[in-house]
Amino acid sequence: MNMQARIRTETTAHIAVADVRLLADPGGVLVHETERLLVVADLHFEKGSAFASRRQLLPPYDTAATLARLTRLIMRHDPKTVIALGDSFHDVRAGERISSADREALKALMQRRQWIWIAGNHDPALPQDIGGEMLETLRVGALTFRHEPQAGAALGEIAGHLHPAARVTSPSGSVRRRCFVGDGTRCVMPAFGAYAGGLNIRDRAFAPLFGDAAPTAHVLGQSRVYAVGWSACGHD
Amino acid sequence: MLRRHQPDHILLRAAREDALTGLLDLSRLAGMLSRIQGRIVHKRLDHVSPLAVPVMLEIGREPIYGEAQEQVLKEAADDLIREAMS
């Protein structure tokens, strides 16, 4: 097997949700290849400037950094439809603070694509003139896209909100990374925003989502997604 | 993020200064190297010399980021595959 082929197989991990095979990109997005659909969660645009307005000065480049990473992934997968799973804007005034350059970059990205903003708790309303379509939930075949995962069984649900991260321990050491977490019936996606934090999947916030069968963490590595068993994921 | 967007940011300059003086005093190191220039004796020992013991104990204690972290993830992923196959 040559190097090219090896890298190719390594970068294409799949996650099954309600028997639908989705490509999990190590960049932190899911791709439904037959529907040409790309899903991204918790972009949190303008989180840096939200903190700055409360006098916590973070470098205000998070929107640009998040958009640059998202642009690369959209170029790679060339989706017809993009679904942003809510908390895309850190607060309802983010639209007033976003720089004109970032606004233009976002507009360019949205051009010639269907763009769906799922409403989140941070962004119940969209910034003015941002474009795209806003929905509470979206169904595509067996899948349901919503921001906040519902407690109890939810077959086919793909959600964000919780910002899952895993603390993975092996004989060589321990690493904490963002991850997808799913049990085959549903999946919670990692937060994408540059300043979005991560909540350990051992946190009790995840307990109501998964029944007796332990979920699998699909951990974001540098160039591939690693499927890691529940027992290898520890507390912080 | 700052390194890409504002490489001359005051926080980055301060971090560099701290690294130069706090973690390793480069001007003192340079002074010592020029002091001992031409008077260095290199000898291979068949055992660890007493003065080298603290250095030997530090080996493996400093984390190196990058490949080593990928290795942790790879091992955990291989474990899951083994479990599924057995």
Q: Cα–Cα distance between A80 and A112 in angstroms, integer? A: 8
Q: Cα–Cα distance between A56 and A83 in angstroms, integer? A: 31
Per-10-residue mean pLDDT of chain A, 236 residues long, equals 44 88 97 97 94 83 94 96 97 92 95 96 91 96 97 95 96 92 97 94 95 92 94 94
Per-residue pLDDT at A41: 98
A184 touches B at CB < 8 Å: no
User: Who among B1, B9, B76 is closest to A232 (CB)?
Assistant: B76
CA of A140, closest CA in chain B: separation in Å? 30
Which of A168, A180, A181, A223 would best serve as a mutation to test chain B binding (most B beta carbons within 10 A)?
A: A168
Per-residue pLDDT at A4: 44
Between positions 4 and 63 of A, the ones with CB within 8 A of B are 59, 61-62
Give the residue numbers spanning the domain of A105: 3-234
Q: How far is C-alpha A150 from the geometric centre of its chain's CA atoms?
A: 17
Per-residue pLDDT at B18: 80
Pairing of strands A164-170, A13-17: unpaired
Q: Cα–Cα distance between B46 and B49 in angstroms, integer? A: 9
Per-residue pLDDT at B63: 62
Q: Is A194 close to B73, i.e. CB distance below 8 A?
A: no
Per-residue pLDDT at A22: 97
Kindly report the three-state secondary structure assignment for every residue of chain B: CHHHHCCCCHHHHHHHHHHHHHHCCHHHHHHHHHHCCCCCCCCCCCCCCHHHHHHHHHCCCCCCCCHHHHHHHHHHHHHHHHHHHC
Taking only the tens place, the pLDDT of each residue in B20-77 is 777 777 888 889 999 999 898 999 999 889 888 888 887 766 666 677 889 999 999 9
A15 forms bridges with which residues in the sheet? Answer: A22
User: A34: Cβ–Cβ under 8 A, 6 or more apart, which residues?
Assistant: none
Q: What is the CATH number of the domain that holds A171?
A: 3.60.21
Chain A residues with CB inside 8 Å of B2's CB?
59, 61
Q: For chain A, what is the domain count? A: 1
Which long-range contacts (C-beta less than 8 Å, at least 24 apart) are formed by B57-64? B63/A173
pTM summary value: 0.80
Which of B10, B11, B72 would best serve as a mutation to test chain A binding (most A beta carbons within 10 A)?
A: B72
Return the closest-CA partner of residue A19 out of A187, A230, A212, A225: A187
Q: Is B83 close to A168, i.e. CB distance below 8 A?
A: no
Residue B78 binned pLDDT confidence (cut-offs 50, 70, 90): very high
Per-residue pLDDT at B61: 67
